[in-house]
Amino acid sequence: MASQILRCPACGSYGLGEACSCGSRRVPPRPPKYSPEDRYADYRRQYKELHPEEARRAELVPQKAASEKRPAANVPSFVQKRKAAE
């Protein structure tokens, strides 16, 4: 997992390590690819039933308003250009 970029849901910074400087944990920025043969769907549903608070928190990450976002210094330039084009 260390070779993939991760995003901190609390402050919005990106990095390769799971520990963020703000103290929270970084997660993959995108959901996993969809597969009709999802081998882990049962496990995911069981987890959501056992831990509804944590599952809801993971799904509903609050998004900052455009005026609140700080410039991301550690985001690669190609990501910044792609976001600007959108």
Query: How much is the pLDDT for 2?
Result: 47
Topology given in CATH for the domain delimited by 1-61: Rubrerythrin, domain 2 (2.20.28)
- pLDDT higher at 66 or 5: 5
- pLDDT higher at 34 or 81: 34
Query: How much is the pLDDT for 66?
Result: 52
Whether the predicted model's global pTM rises above the 0.75 cut:
no
- Condensed to tens digits (0 to 9), the pLDDT of residues 33-62 reads 777 888 888 888 888 888 878 767 766 655
Q: What are the residues whose beta carbons fall under 8 Å from the beta carbon of 63, sequence distance 6 or more?
A: none
CB atoms near residue 12 (< 10 Å): 17
Residue 30 predicted with pLDDT over 70: yes
